[in-house]
Structure 1
Amino acid sequence: MEYVLLLVGFVLLIKGADFFVEGSSSLARILRIPSVIIGLTIVAMGTSAPEASVSINAALAGSNDIAISNVVGSNIFNGLVVVGVCAVLAAFQTNKDILKRDMPLNICVSAILCLMFLDGKLSRTEGILLLAGMVLYLCFMIRSALKNREPGADIQTLSLPVSLLYIVGGLAAVIFGGDLVVDKACIIARSWGVSQNFIGLTIIAVGTSLPELVTSIVATRKGDSSLALGNAIGSNLFNILFILGMSSVISPLHVLDESVIDCLLLTVSAVILYLFARSKKKMTRLEGAICILLYISYTAYLLIR
């Protein structure tokens, strides 16, 4: 029964995020916001709603290992698998704004998180600093969106009331699903005799990152690589700045030595992704395949650790 309820939790997370993204994207089109801004903010936050729900619920329940490992594992998956799969499906040009601004910021934020982890905890003060960084980033993105509003186009969108209903209903499903996933994953971890850290880095991290993967693949298939790459990078920034920031403000988080290593590997993966994206200002199929192989190697490392 625990496995069935875990699956139900994942379904609620994924479908809830799907409705949230559709409603948010429709609202963004009504407001005439460029797609790269949509990807970095609204869609990124929507697809990261499962991670937010899981980690915040874990922090409330005192499951610190899951709160941290879910975010770190999801970010590694986003950078290597989500972007890698999109590049394998169709090589794409790198958006110049993401390359100059958001990808270097992603590396810096990941490195700062590593430094915060070194003392073995993520305190409330550090959580507040992360949240302040999220506020500054959002303010900058909102300002950029207002400066670059696109002229009205004949694009079919949901009506404003339906968009708001999708947003509210999607978030409700994500919150309830996240609670189910944390509760049942902890029970299953204990029954298997494996650590919550391992479960968070693998099953939960991949499960909560499925919305990013699906959304980015769909965007790539439609030729909107700006939204696909922006979704992955924006989600990673949101995961660290907001989710870990909020989780540690709710309850200071104990950091395992293993989590420090995982965070260091996250920073290295962010650097590799940036170098690939910067070379010839595009992501090739070969580079995408290398990213996927790196993630498979990381998973193998977790199994033998």
Structure 2
Amino acid sequence: MLTEIAWLIGGLILITLASDWLVDGASALARRFGVTEFVIGMTVVGFGTSMPEMVSSLFSALEGHGDMAIGNVVGSNICNILLILGVTAMISPVAFSRKNVKVDIPICIAATALLMAMLYRWFSSDSPQLLSRIDGIILLVCFIVFMIYSFKTGKAEPSAHAQEEKEKTMPLWKSSLLTLLGIGGLIVGGKLFVNHTIAFAQMLHVSDAFISVTLMALGTSLPELATCIVAAVKKKNELALGNIIGSNIFNIMLILGVSASVTPLHVVSLTRVDMGVVMLSAIMLWTAAYCFKRYKLDRVDAGFYLLLYVAYSVWLFMTATAA
């Protein structure tokens, strides 16, 4: 038991260090290449923190567990907005730019709607069915278009001190190394934390249902959570927001695109409630930013997000134990 606790703490320490490296490295890369921290968060950081979902979903698909691959992405996207963005906004309110509200978040909503349309066979079915290889290819094409658009429109506005700031930023090799070390450390640290937390929970005879609903669901989102918390503490909420939106888009377009292209993903246990919550969470992000708080997610909104996540987790646990 002491060994499991030691590895668990070691994983947490590595996650903490790696998230700090990733935020510092990614911020320096943004300044170096003249793009906004949001774009770096949405692309480089979003891709890096989505690697656990990529690995677990792809291996699930290859082993014939397509339902797990889709469920992993759906659960991760819900966790990203309701839990991770909720925690981030609790630490420091998140401000949205006009582009976030009018372009970036709508793209996230559109990606979620596209996934729902595909799973429901373009709404010809009453329940989620499957993602075909053609669906996977369509998602990958959408991902390529999204990446090209992001970098073409993501240039930072030049400031009077832009050249001076660029000269003061850390060398390219160092910022790149920090970013890569951060991504790698988050993946390894997250794996250590999840594996040994599960082993510790099993020693305490905690049910498998509770472990799957809580620890496994949170496990693949640990990189996003750690990165966003550090970004919020360092007042780099633009990077945190980009990470969340980017991760959700990456999860759908890239991860499910690759997985479905390899083998069709058949749905077994995913319910309309799951799909409804993932769609609702994406829409809530837009309404909170645009309709109520005028380009801002404050602590009241964050509290509501966290309560909704707890309610959904309780529902998941109750349905898992009932089964």
Q: The TM-score by the shorter chain falls in which range? A: 0.7 to 0.9
2:318 equivalent to 1:290: no
Partner in structure 2 of residue 46 of structure 1: 48
2:102 equivalent to 1:100: yes
Offset from partner CA, 1:228-272 (integer Å, 9 cap, x none): 222211211111111111111122211124244312210012112
TM-score using structure 1 length: 0.81
**For residues 180 and 252 of structure 1, what CA distance do their matches in structure 2 show?**
31
Letter in 2 for 1:129: I
Partner in structure 2 of residue 213 of structure 1: 225
**For residues 307 and 143 of structure 2, what CA distance do their matches in structure 1 show?**
31
Distance 1:200 1:232, change over 3 A: farther
**For residues 28 and 268 of structure 1, what CA distance do their matches in structure 2 show?**
31
- Superposed displacement of residue 215, structure 1: 1.8
1:64–1:253 CA contact under 8 A, matched in 2 = yes
**For residues 87 and 226 of structure 1, what CA distance do their matches in structure 2 show?**
12
Aligned mate of 2:92, from 90, 93, 99: 90
1:127-138 maps to which residues of 2 (within 5 A)? Answer: 127-138=136-147
1:95–1:226 CA contact under 8 A, matched in 2 = no
Partner in structure 2 of residue 270 of structure 1: 282
* Aligned-pair Cα RMSD in Å: 3.6
2:26–2:41 CA contact under 8 A, matched in 1 = no
Partner in structure 1 of residue 293 of structure 2: 280
Tell me the SS of whatever aligns to 2:163: coil
**For residues 154 and 236 of structure 1, what CA distance do their matches in structure 2 show?**
31
Partner in structure 1 of residue 165 of structure 2: 154
Aligned mate of 1:76, from 63, 75, 78: 78
2:19–2:226 CA contact under 8 A, matched in 1 = no
Distance 1:222 1:171, change over 3 A: closer
2:22–2:227 CA contact under 8 A, matched in 1 = no
1:10–1:207 CA contact under 8 A, matched in 2 = no
- Superposed displacement of residue 273, structure 1: 2.3
1:50–1:208 CA contact under 8 A, matched in 2 = yes
Distance 1:17 1:226, change over 3 A: closer
Larger of the two Rg values belongs to structure: 2
- Superposed displacement of residue 129, structure 1: 0.7
1:154-303 maps to which residues of 2 (within 5 A)? Answer: 154=165, 157-166=169-178, 202-278=214-290, 279-281=292-294, 282-303=296-317
- Superposed displacement of residue 213, structure 1: 1.8
% of aligned pairs identical?
37
Tell me the SS of whatever aligns to 2:221: helix
1:13–1:50 CA contact under 8 A, matched in 2 = no
- Superposed displacement of residue 181, structure 1: 9.6
Tell me the SS of whatever aligns to 1:294: helix
1:106–1:237 CA contact under 8 A, matched in 2 = yes
Letter in 1 for 2:140: L
Task: Compare 136-145 and 252-261 and name the one that shifted more.
Answer: 252-261
Tell me the SS of whatever aligns to 1:33: coil
Letter in 2 for 1:280: K
Aligned residues: 302
- Superposed displacement of residue 28, structure 1: 3.1
Letter in 2 for 1:297: A
**For residues 111 and 260 of structure 2, what CA distance do their matches in structure 1 show?**
16
Q: What stretches of structure 2 of length at least 5 have no aligned partner?
A: 122-128
Partner in structure 1 of residue 124 of structure 2: none
Letter in 2 for 1:87: A
Task: Compare 168-177 and 108-117 and name the one that shifted more.
Answer: 168-177
Distance 1:97 1:200, change over 3 A: farther
